Structure 1
Amino acid sequence: MIRRTLCMLLMLTLLWGGLHAAAEEKGEFPALNDAGFLDSGEFVWEDEENGVWRYASSTLRVEIFRREQKKPARVWYEAEVFCAEGSVGPRMIANDPEHWKTAANMEYPYKIARKYGTVFAVSNDFAQLRLQQKKSRPGIIIRDGKIWSDRTKKKGVKDFPNLDCLAIWPDGDMKVYYSDEKTAEEYLEDGAVDVLAFGPILIRDGKLNEEALKKYGTSHAQRTAVGMVEKGHYFFMMLEGRIKRSKGDGISFLAEKLLEKGCTLGFNLDGGETACIVFMGHQLCKLKDGKKLSSRRTSDILGVGTSELLPAVSDPW
């Protein structure tokens, strides 16, 4: 009886090991702990043909899907990100922190990701362009606790971007505010370390910002947005545009998708040629028909997670 029991246990162990290995070969996550992460090590899956990318470690889980629609022609990327409690959430990652706004120190997003081993990233608010224009109002701009600008526009202006703000805290919390709702000093007093100015706010307190969605970003273009379900659980979206396979869309398309995913807040980032999505040092999105092209150089990226598995900066992208 004891021998039979031991044999059955051995068979079950071998069967489980085989199923586990088969799952990994198909790109499925290996066994995760109760918190939804690996106990140790890293798992990476990249399937460009089928549009699926996955990453898991003891503190981070990322799952990206490329979605395609024929009529109207759209291609977009949905990235769900989970950060373990106590780990570092999404943050702004500068190519050169000491010379952040200098045009000469801008770099392609995928190269910034490789430089710092950033697992996942999207485009930013392209604030460095506004900071270089002396007569412009750049918005409330804070990076790593340093104020770069406290000049913004009044709420409700006709201009796009309207310079609404996305504030990020060290514990991974995010909040959205109207352009002139807080001063730069007030953000620092509240403990925010990064503040982006672009907008508009897509979702606030679980509700669509209907007024802004009708007013801003209605043309068909490339788009990027970030949303948060709760602290530690985020959604990112990138929509390709102005190419044959994807004509792009207005910001309301992203807003509605983020709301469907359960996001309590959503924020529109810079689109057009700035829009991008990067995984393990590779740009996933397409920007031009018939040619592999990187999104424009920028001063920083909105990224999360670190790994030593990324390729070198000089390697082919």
Structure 2
Amino acid sequence: MKKFLSKPYRWAAIYSIILTVTITYTLLDTFVLPKSLADASIVSSSKAAPADSSGSSSTETSINSKSQSEAAVTDNSYEDENIKITIEKDRKYDSNIYIADIQVSDPSYLKTALANNTYGRNITATTSVMALENNAIFAINGDYYGFRDGGYVLRNGVAYRETARSGDNDALVIDKDGNLSVVPEGEVSLDSLSDQGAWQVLSFGPGLVVDGEVVVNSSSEVSKAMSSNPRTAIGQISELHYIVVVSDGRTSESAGLSLLQLAQELKDRGCTVAYNLDGGGSSTMYFNGEVINHPTGGRNMGERKVSDIVYIGY
């Protein structure tokens, strides 16, 4: 062995092998290997919901079940005494666009969920699978928090990640009253947001509409993204009244939207605040048991597995 190691090039070979193994493991650990950091169901059980969505009595559960059983449902609408959703498909900017108009009677019906009900790295599921597991009436992909090491993660009142992203980034806050706001992530701590009533915080961005005005321009874009993409965004018109826009993209049939086009669509529909969520192959709209858009990353058709969803349901 001593004679073997006496040759300098052999030390170089050993070093190269060690370096390759280390890099390979780091890449697998970052992008492939699932790593659970918290069970959302256990953590959330100790937190009070903003209204009546947790710790519900049997009477409340019965009322919710009755509401769903008496709901008026069509291919593009859902309505019961608490939730009203209307979906339309539009054709603009050489793209197919899906718009959901959502009204709820209580902020507790606007929810989020994590893949496998677990917070962690590389823990993913499709939007439709998460929607089915949570009995969602309507769902979209969230911010894919698991693809990054930074960015606030607050879900259902529980803080999972308190590290802000570096640089100039916007976060979406949904407070206990169901109101949306866009905040500069690097200028406010997650603790202070929680103290101010934040119930959900998602970190993707950028903000699209603030105080009724478009806040992106023709040169705005998510890092490393093309100028036209599949998109997912959520906006608010008024109290408990929301607009969700999902666009197809990266195909010959549907080019996709720029951030400016997306923002203008939300503003034109009356949103006073709107925010860009994860897009590209993640962009998915689920309604009444079906995926109604055509998710694709440009190479493969079908849903991408993601970390989380935003949904409407009981």
Alpha-carbon displacement from aligned partner over 1:10-67 (angstroms, at most 9, x marks no partner): xxxxxxxxxxxxxxxxxxxxxxxxxxxx898111111xxxxxx100011000000111
* Pairing 1:61–2:84 present: yes
* Pairing 1:76–2:82 present: no
Shift of 1:293: 4.1
Unpaired runs of 5+ residues, structure 1, are 1-37, 47-52, 132-137, 157-161, 307-317
Residue 157 of structure 2 aligns to which amino acid in structure 1?
Answer: G
Shift of 1:281: 2.4
2:39 matched residue in structure 1: none
Shift of 1:95: 3.0
Residues 221 and 240 of structure 1 are in contact (CA less than 8 Å); yes or no, is this contact kept in structure 2? yes
* Pairing 1:125–2:143 present: yes
Partner Cα separation in structure 2 for residue 280 and residue 233 of structure 1: 19
* Pairing 1:182–2:170 present: no
Partner Cα separation in structure 2 for residue 82 and residue 249 of structure 1: 25
Higher helix share: 2
1:283 matched residue in structure 2: 291
Partner Cα separation in structure 2 for residue 40 and residue 114 of structure 1: 17
2:171 matched residue in structure 1: 165
1:115 matched residue in structure 2: 133
Q: TM-score, normalised by structure 2?
A: 0.72
Pairing partner for 1:202 from 200, 205, 208 = 208
Would you identify which runs of 4 or more consecutive aligned residues in structure 1 move more than 6 Å? none
Residues 55 and 63 of structure 1 are in contact (CA less than 8 Å); yes or no, is this contact kept in structure 2? yes
Shift of 1:292: 9.4
| Alignment CA distance shift 1:149-1:300 (3 Å) | same
Partner Cα separation in structure 1 for residue 251 and residue 311 of structure 2: 26
Residue 93 of structure 1 aligns to which amino acid in structure 2?
Answer: A
2:245 matched residue in structure 1: 237
Identity %: 25
Shift of 1:77: 0.4
What SS is found at the alignment partner of 1:139? coil
Alpha-carbon displacement from aligned partner over 1:195-221 (angstroms, at most 9, x marks no partner): 00011110111111146x533246111
| Alignment CA distance shift 1:141-1:174 (3 Å) | same
Partner Cα separation in structure 2 for residue 197 and residue 119 of structure 1: 24
Q: TM-score, normalised by structure 1?
A: 0.71
Unpaired runs of 5+ residues, structure 2, are 1-66
Residue 68 of structure 1 aligns to which amino acid in structure 2?
Answer: R
What SS is found at the alignment partner of 2:198? coil
What SS is found at the alignment partner of 1:78? strand
What SS is found at the alignment partner of 2:195? helix
Shift of 1:222: 0.6
| Alignment CA distance shift 1:170-1:40 (3 Å) | farther
1:300 matched residue in structure 2: 308
Residue 229 of structure 1 aligns to which amino acid in structure 2?
Answer: I
Partner Cα separation in structure 2 for residue 91 and residue 174 of structure 1: 13
Shift of 1:73: 2.1
2:157 matched residue in structure 1: 145
Measured on the aligned residues, the alpha-carbon RMSD in Å equals: 2.4
2:228 matched residue in structure 1: 220
Residues 209 and 273 of structure 2 are in contact (CA less than 8 Å); yes or no, is this contact kept in structure 1? yes
Residues 108 and 294 of structure 1 are in contact (CA less than 8 Å); yes or no, is this contact kept in structure 2? no
Shift of 1:140: 1.8
